[in-house]
Amino acid sequence: MTSGADHPDAGGSLGGTSAAGGSAGGLVVAELRVDHAREPLGIDERRPRFSWLLRSERRGVRQTGYRVTVRALDGGPDAGPETWDSGWVPGADQLGVEYGGAPLTSRTRYGWVVRVRTADGTEATSERATFETAFLDPQEWSGEWLACVAMAPAVVSPLIRREFDLDGDVVRARAYVSGIGYSELFVNGTRVGDSVLDPAWTDYRMRVLYATYDVTEHLVRGANALGVALGNGWFEPMPSAVPSQLQPQVLLELHVELADGRRVAVVTDRGGAWLATADGPVVDHSIYGGETYDARREIEGWAEPGPRHRDSGARWRGALPVEPPAGVLRAQALEPIRVVDELTPVAVRRLGPDTHVVDLGQNFAGWVRIRLAGARGTVVTLRHAELLGDDGRVNTVNLRTAAATDTYVLAGGAARWFEPHFTYHGFRFLQVDGYPADLTAEDVVGRVVRSAVERIGEFRCDDELLNQLHRNVVWTEASNLHGLPTDCPQRDERLAWLNDMTVRGEQAVHNFGLARLYGKWFTDILDTQGATTGAIADTAPHVRYGRRPADPVVSSFLLVPWLMQAHYGERRWIERHYEDLARWVTYLASLRQDGIIEHSEIGDWAPPVSEAVAGSAGSGAMSAVTPGGLISTGFLHLDLRLMATFARLLGRDGDAEHYEAEAEAVREAINRRYLRRGPARYGPGNQSSNAFALYLGIVPADCEQEVLAELVRDIEEHDVHLTTGNLCTKYVMDVLGRHGRADVAMGLLRQRTYPSWGFMIEHGATTVWERWEHVTGGPLAGMGSHNHPMYGAVDSWFYRYLGGIAPVWDAPGFGRAVVEPLLPDGLGAVDCTIRTPRGPLTSAWSRSAEGTSFTVVVPANAQASVLLPVPPTAVVREGDAIVWGPDGRGEDVEGIDAVGAEPGGVRLELGSGRYELTVRG
Ligand code: BGC
């Protein structure tokens, strides 16, 4: 711990010393984050990483140094000891600054402040931000896991409670709760927090997450009660889990600080104070099946102090200690799942005396809140579906064994609202049976449920079909973020398939802030890794479906940490797990025979049926055309190159050379086996094979144009349609964008006949389908999800090629961005923004009769290298100033560091700020 002479707090308290809002000379230091979270409560990271962003009206703002100070806040805002003073650190770092002070202590609140200097000599100090630790060492937990051991069906949702007295005023109270599968915490009868389906699912044999709640306001001097409602969560779809774990159980610690300084702890233990009942209202529930809620069994006052919990006649027994799950306890370091939005029905139709069908107008993940009134004992069922049959009723054919049915047994009395607790559904339509009264749109609310990650990307253009596709992709992605990136939200699956994520992740990191969710999911993948082989599994957590070793197409294991570093400036996963990544790649590489990995089970999955092996796995989803060996070995090539990149990042140059040499050997092996000449093409010359080779960059330079021409020829021969599966579809688009054929890419995007995204939209899709076919029954129904992100991977094309935005690896988190928009014929305007960790980055353009206008917004402390796709003879102006003239000269404009012509257009090097450029000629 150091305390330099120019300590920012010399003579003052931490924070609050700068001008209001942390602004000095128009410079503001804002949005302080700890491991990507604002003011996190309950972290267990010993060396958290800090980040902040700068705001300024001025252009070309460059941070030249920072200083972070951290102070424990316990005992008063300025009373605690300072635990870290980074001293002035020269440079532009504003992301991932690792805590380097005295060891943090558990259950402690810290305040931190950052002061920055910029190149023009301005200094600014942030407001104080806070973070709070939970249990830095899992051994510090003293509570026991408790369950309700009852002769009741295992599917009940037990309620667990205890009372306790507090003989003083409460100044601070935290509840640490791990209730698995799912739990809801109540204090003195009130539900705490707004998270649902908590904690996030992990393989409980490896890791179990707990949440931290601030319950200060919920407690009182005198009698108090804690209550926990437990749900099965992911126990039920985990048939391979240890049998003794097949019951909901809870571990809870409440830590209270009283005004006189005393500390009181209430923990789950065997002393008899904790009572449990299996007689609560949730009588049946599962993720896939839905929930049955019997309002007649509600227990008034069950989570309040006093005797009311006994009035209903429920049988309360002592909660018993049970075997802890084998997994290590970790703080939940990601956004909880929440109800993030609500939908109003667009239609409610009565189909019979007691049947209604509700159309929410949008396919989504979540459930409905419904207002019901009726005689005691009335049973109302809600069936959820993505499709309607010709008879106007729900068509649930594609849900497989998922009943996706919520049932309410009414208690009589006044109308009241119901919603489920421990299930969720993927649906647009709702069939309500058993309800004789009138149901109107006012009685039903669609509750949109997902991990509450931030939306960070926006795209729109002047083509409504593309805008609709973008909306569909965002809804699809949003429907599949539930503590992990699931494949679909509706059928009996909802697993995070690594192969889909190989293409999907890039779309997702443009649209949502996923640094924490992907960090958690990356750890889920590590949890599947074999100790001996290093092999990971196809799905993580790995249950029910997917094999280990995974199919070689699961490059997401490496791409996700790559994306986290490139987009969010988060390098921890590469640093900490380089060896684990290497073990998988070494395993894969060892499968080669004659340089080729023949093993391929998934490959370029689910292409149009004409391209697939009828009757193969996944309702005929295996490609009949694209050679599995090309796909598997191609991904090995990609993995080796990613390993080389990671090795260079970590300064392991020897490793990097090894991986580069290996990648080169793989490239040669692929070309030897799959490259044909006259004309140059890969494998059978289908779109997937040619696009994949071009995407990987393995095509010999003298063949590149021919392979590209073959790809375009095949697309045109198919009347501008794709023949590709879930992976190579993205690669076709990227290759066309990269090689100057945006015209062909636009043709594919604007296509409205089968197979195409437009075909889905023509059929009313509000999300992206799993298959190119319109599946409403028949042999594909079992693999006919209508809300499946993999074909939504196309959305990154909008940002990357129409907006032209890309991160630069050497300046992660968009410290430097490339902005190279394409202006395809027939498109008049594009506007996209990504809220990067340094602030919003915008690329927008529009054409008019006078010329083309470009808007570029570069966050403070960042730079952009912009290529305007205009001829070198064009005149580029900002306002009246000529930035680039036909003679190659321009005026000096603040923030524009350099201008020059190159083959693709006019290049501008921009510092931070907003630029409005107009181009003539
Ligand atoms: C999933 C797909 C995945 C496939 C791979 C399916 O069940 O829904 O998204 O690509 O399995 O085998």
SS3 836: strand
| Ligand 1 contact, 605 CB (< 6 A) | yes
Predicted local distance difference test score (pLDDT) of residue 483:
98
Cα end-to-end distance, the chain, whole Å: 60
Ligand 1 centroid to residue 530 C-alpha, Å? 22
Tell which atom from ligand 1 comes closest to the C-alpha of 605. 10
Sign of CA dihedral 674, 678, 680, 681: negative
SS3 640: helix
Does 7 score more than 90 pLDDT? no
Within 10 angstroms of residue 209's Cβ, the number of other Cβ atoms is 22
Q: Which residues contact 650 (CB under 8 A, 6 or more apart)?
A: 574, 575, 578
Predicted local distance difference test score (pLDDT) of residue 11:
29
* 669-723 pLDDT per residue, tens: 999 999 999 999 999 999 999 999 999 999 999 999 999 999 999 999 999 999 9
Pairing outcome for strands 182-187 and 190-191: antiparallel
Residue with tokens 């021919």: 706
CA–CA separation, 812 and 257 (whole Å): 42
State the average pLDDT over residues 655-672: 98
- Among 262-266, 481-485, 553-557, 614-618, name the one with the lowest average pLDDT: 614-618
**Which residues, listed in sequence order, are joined to residue 905 by a DSSP beta bridge?**
902
CA–CA separation, 241 and 108 (whole Å): 35
Predicted local distance difference test score (pLDDT) of residue 241:
47
Ligand 1 centroid to residue 386 C-alpha, Å? 18
Tell me what the pLDDT averaged over the chain comes to.
94
Which of 582, 586, 670 is CA-nearest to residue 629?
Answer: 670
| Minimal-distance CA residue to ligand 1 atom 12 | 602
| Ligand 1 contact, 550 CB (< 6 A) | no
CA–CA separation, 197 and 181 (whole Å): 8
CA–CA separation, 101 and 254 (whole Å): 28
| Ligand 1 contact, 790 CB (< 6 A) | yes
Q: What angle do CA 623, 796, 95 make, to 5 degrees?
A: 125
CA–CA separation, 553 and 124 (whole Å): 48
Sign of CA dihedral 717, 721, 724, 728: positive
Does 50 score more than 60 pLDDT? yes
Distances (CA, A) of 736 to 256, 672, 687, 729: 61, 25, 11, 11
Predicted local distance difference test score (pLDDT) of residue 6:
32
Residue 852 near residue 823 (C-beta atoms within 8 A): yes
* 92-107 pLDDT per residue, tens: 999 999 999 999 999 9
Ligand 1 centroid to residue 487 C-alpha, Å? 7
At residue 243 the predicted structure's pLDDT band, cuts being 50, 70 and 90, is very low
Beta strands in 386-521 (DSSP E): 387-388, 394-395, 405-409, 416-418, 425-433, 444-451, 457-461
Predicted local distance difference test score (pLDDT) of residue 150:
85
Tokens of 885: 């003239």
Kindly write down the DSSP assignment for every residue of 717-779, as one continuous string.
HTTS-----TTHHHHHHHHHHHTT-HHHHHHHHH--SSSSHHHHHHTT-SS--SSSS--SSGG
Distances (CA, A) of 325 to 182, 208, 724: 14, 8, 43
Q: What angle do CA 494, 497, 503 make, to 5 degrees?
A: 120
State the average pLDDT over residues 609-624: 93
CA–CA separation, 110 and 42 (whole Å): 11
SS3 92: coil
| Minimal-distance CA residue to ligand 1 atom 8 | 487
The DSSP symbol for 136 reads S
| Ligand 1 contact, 335 CB (< 6 A) | no
Which of 554, 563, 561, 558 is CA-nearest to residue 499?
Answer: 554
**pTM assigned to the model:** 0.96
* 716-747 pLDDT per residue, tens: 999 999 999 999 999 999 999 999 999 999 99
For a ligand 1 pocket test, name from 487, 554, 556 the mutation site with the most ligand atoms within 8 angstroms of its C-beta.
487
| Ligand 1 contact, 500 CB (< 6 A) | yes
CA–CA separation, 396 and 425 (whole Å): 12
The DSSP symbol for 798 reads I
Which of 863, 872, 854 is CA-nearest to residue 897?
Answer: 863
Ligand 1 centroid to residue 514 C-alpha, Å? 22
Ligand 1 centroid to residue 79 C-alpha, Å? 55
Within 10 angstroms of residue 223's Cβ, the number of other Cβ atoms is 13
SS3 797: helix
Predicted local distance difference test score (pLDDT) of residue 707:
98
User: What's the chain's Rg over C-alpha atoms?
Assistant: 29
Distances (CA, A) of 728 to 218, 301, 644, 793: 53, 57, 23, 10
For a ligand 1 pocket test, name from 497, 544, 619, 783 the mutation site with the most ligand atoms within 8 angstroms of its C-beta.
497
Residue 548 near residue 532 (C-beta atoms within 8 A): no
CA–CA separation, 516 and 51 (whole Å): 14
Predicted local distance difference test score (pLDDT) of residue 346:
98
Residue 460 near residue 470 (C-beta atoms within 8 A): yes
| Ligand 1 contact, 487 CB (< 6 A) | yes
Catalytic positions, please?
Answer: 493, 770
Tell which atom from ligand 1 comes closest to the C-alpha of 785. 8
Tokens of 490: 């509706």
State the average pLDDT over residues 584-593: 98
Can you say how many angstroms the Cα of residue 534 is from the centroid of all Cα atoms in its chain? 25
Tell which atom from ligand 1 comes closest to the C-alpha of 601. 12
Ligand 1 centroid to residue 136 C-alpha, Å? 37
| Minimal-distance CA residue to ligand 1 atom 9 | 487
| Ligand 1 contact, 492 CB (< 6 A) | no
Tokens of 303: 């989570």
